[in-house]
């Protein structure tokens, strides 16, 4: 058998392969800065809101003016309610059910109630994107409350997206710095080119299936620990370490066993993930306020050891895990919050794929047997 790595036109994991054309985001080689339609994510975090970024992504790179943004916000908040049948059904699922599975099922169920599910026109796709963005947090927050033994709280129509999520989880309006910290993390998670989940969404969209099916597939892909699932794994690790004094030995032992440290490394970034320091800055503000500093003390030690030993840097999942923990959210919702945000990028990619569609159907290198005679069952 040939060495697969040396086959012509083959790159394992499609690494370095250009699998499509997109105008939505890029990593600027000067400084590894992530750009959404040319706008620096660092600037969007400081100066805009998650809703504004959603508008930008869903409207082919156009920043909204005040009126556009007001309308968009209004549409999003008016779509926050979820049919009671769906919330009741999902909240009755076994308490061990993974939150990502709950969200995957939620989007599937939304399709049955959405009158435009089968309509792939641009206007319908935009309307469905807004509905998905608006409704997924409602289901997620309801599930958190029910597992905590509380009744779901209806969405607050006049709060922003991030603040409303915290409101629906806690039943009270969040402090502005809590809402801002969550908002910033959502902006950072919104979009990142042809990552595994987005590519999954595009592959599905290329068959001309519906938007909901594309997003269901993307959620499944994001769940994996090599992708979105890394944030919750990173927080479980920090909790397991528990004490900054134990962090260095813990990490060195893992490296000696050739185990991966979740929340470090990236396929695209080679020197740093520029989103990580942004999210860390807001997580540090929360830590300052609460006095809970040990998570960052441990993080700093782990970052130092991984840089020294493996030249590895934290990706956005590592500080996001700490930020969500400091917001008082259960660790299990870390990856679902990635969904809450990334729906914006996925939907933008589904629409972009449709605009110039070609079925995505790559080739393979076959390594099985050549044609052979069938042997009847009694002769085997
Ligand atoms: N911990 C320890 N070693 C690592 C890590 C890590 N987190 N990441 C990469 N390496 C090592 C690998 O073991 C490998 O070493 P080797 O050449 O000695 O075998 C080398 O670096 C290359 O790693 P690959 O996994 O082959 O690189 P790839 O580009 O495929 O991986 C990935 C990128 C999957 C993100 C990887 O860095 C990883 O598994 N990280 C941990 C999971 C994670 O944090 N995922 C989140 C990604 S970002 C996001 O989805 C928002």
What pLDDT, in 10s, does the model give residues 227-255?
999 999 999 999 999 999 999 999 999 99
Given a cut of 80, whether residue 185 has pLDDT beyond it is: yes
pLDDT the model gives residue 286: 97
Any residues with CB less than 8 A from the CB of 340 and at least 6 apart, and which? 133, 136, 137, 140, 165, 186
Residue 267 Cα to ligand 1 midpoint, Å, equals 7
Q: What homologous superfamily does CATH list for 230-326?
A: Cytochrome P450-Terp, domain 2 (1.10.230.10)
Given a cut of 70, whether residue 357 has pLDDT beyond it is: yes
Given a cut of 90, whether residue 30 has pLDDT beyond it is: no
Distances, alpha carbon 85 to alpha carbons 88, 117, 190, in Å: 5, 18, 29
Any residues with CB less than 8 A from the CB of 274 and at least 6 apart, and which? 27, 31, 32, 33, 34, 41, 42
Candidate of 265, 272, 314 to mutate for ligand 1, largest count of ligand atoms within 8 Å of Cβ: 265
Candidate of 231, 260, 262, 322 to mutate for ligand 1, largest count of ligand atoms within 8 Å of Cβ: 260
CATH code of the region 12-223+342-355: 1.10.580.10
Residue located nearest, by CA, to atom 44 of ligand 1: 263
Any residues with CB less than 8 A from the CB of 54 and at least 6 apart, and which? 72, 76, 133, 161, 190, 344
pLDDT the model gives residue 5: 65
Residue 59 Cα to ligand 1 midpoint, Å, equals 33
Given a cut of 90, whether residue 363 has pLDDT beyond it is: yes
Within 6 Å (CB) of ligand 1, which residues are found? Answer: 13, 226-228, 230, 260-267, 310, 312, 315-317
Which is the closest atom of ligand 1 to the Cα of 316? 51
Name the residue with higher pLDDT: 2 or 233.
233
Q: Give 269-281 pLDDT, tens digit per residue.
A: 988 999 999 999 9
Q: What mean pLDDT is reported for the chain?
A: 96
Residue located nearest, by CA, to atom 27 of ligand 1: 267
Average pLDDT of span 57-64? 98
pLDDT the model gives residue 31: 82
pLDDT the model gives residue 7: 84
Domain residue ranges of the chain, discontinuous segments joined by +: 12-223+342-355, 230-326
| Helices 275-290 & 294-310 angle (0-180, nearest 10) | 150
Which is the closest atom of ligand 1 to the Cα of 263? 44
Q: Closest Cα to residue 127, out of 210, 250, 7? A: 210
* Strands across the sheet containing 39-40: 25-28, 33-36, 39-40
Q: Give 300-311 pLDDT, tens digit per residue.
A: 999 999 999 999
Residue 314 Cα to ligand 1 midpoint, Å, equals 11
Distances, alpha carbon 269 to alpha carbons 27, 28, 116, 197, 314, in Å: 8, 10, 38, 17, 10
pLDDT the model gives residue 3: 55
pLDDT the model gives residue 270: 83
pLDDT the model gives residue 149: 96
Q: Give 160-175 pLDDT, tens digit per residue.
A: 999 999 999 999 999 9
Given a cut of 90, whether residue 144 has pLDDT beyond it is: yes
pLDDT band at 121 (very low <50, low <70, confident <90, very high): very high
Distances, alpha carbon 151 to alpha carbons 25, 36, 329, in Å: 39, 38, 17
Quickly list DSSP for 30-53.
Answer: TTTEEEETTEEHHHHHHH--HHHH
Q: Closest Cα to residue 50, out of 161, 192, 196? A: 161
Other Cβ atoms less than 10 A from the Cβ of 371: the count is 4
The catalytic site residues sit at: 266, 317
């Amino acid at each position: 058998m040939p060495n697969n790595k040396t086959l012509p036109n083959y790159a394992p994991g499609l690494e370095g392969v250009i699998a499509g054309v997109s105008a939505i985001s890029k990593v600027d080689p000067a400084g590894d800065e992530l750009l959404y339609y040319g706008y620096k994510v660092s600037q969007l975090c400081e100066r805009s809101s998650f809703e504004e970024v959603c508008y930008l992504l869903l409207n082919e790179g156009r920043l909204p003016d005040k009126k556009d943004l007001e309308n968009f916000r209004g549409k999003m908040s008016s779509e926050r309610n979820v049919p009671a049948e769906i919330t009741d059904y999902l909240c009755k699922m076994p308490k061990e059910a993974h939150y990502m599975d709950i969200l995957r099922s939620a989007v599937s169920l939304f399709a049955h109630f959405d009158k435009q599910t089968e309509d792939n026109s641009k206007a319908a796709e935009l309307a469905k994107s807004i509905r998905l963005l608006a409704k997924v947090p409602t289901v997620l927050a309801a599930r958190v409350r029910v597992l905590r033994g509380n009744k779901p709280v209806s969405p607050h129509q006049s709060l922003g997206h991030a603040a409303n999520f915290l409101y629906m989880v806690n039943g009270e309006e969040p402090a502005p710095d809590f809402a801002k910290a969550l908002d910033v993390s959502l902006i950072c998670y919104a979009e990142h080119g042809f990552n595994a989940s987005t590519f999954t969404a595009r592959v599905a969209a290329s068959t001309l299936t519906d938007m909901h099916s594309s997003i269901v597939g993307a959620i499944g892909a994001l769940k994996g620990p090599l992708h979105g699932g890394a944030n919750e794994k990173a927080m479980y690790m920090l909790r397991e370490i528990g004490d900054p004094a134990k962090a260095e030995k813990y990490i060195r032992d893992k490296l000696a066993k050739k185990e991966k440290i979740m929340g470090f490394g990236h396929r695209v970034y080679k020197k740093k993930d520029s989103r990580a320091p942004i999210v860390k800055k807001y997580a540090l503000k929360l830590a300052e306020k609460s006095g809970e500093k040990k998570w960052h003390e441990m993080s700093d030690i782990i970052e130092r050891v991984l840089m020294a030993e493996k030249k590895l840097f934290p990706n956005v999942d590592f500080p996001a895990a700490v930020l969500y923990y400091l917001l008082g959210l259960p660790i299990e919702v870390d990856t679902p919050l990635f969904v809450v945000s990334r729906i914006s990028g996925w939907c933008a990619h589904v629409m972009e794929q449709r605009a110039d569609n070609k079925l995505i159907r790559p080739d393979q290198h076959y390594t099985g047997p050549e044609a052979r005679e069938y042997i009847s069952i009694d002769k085997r």
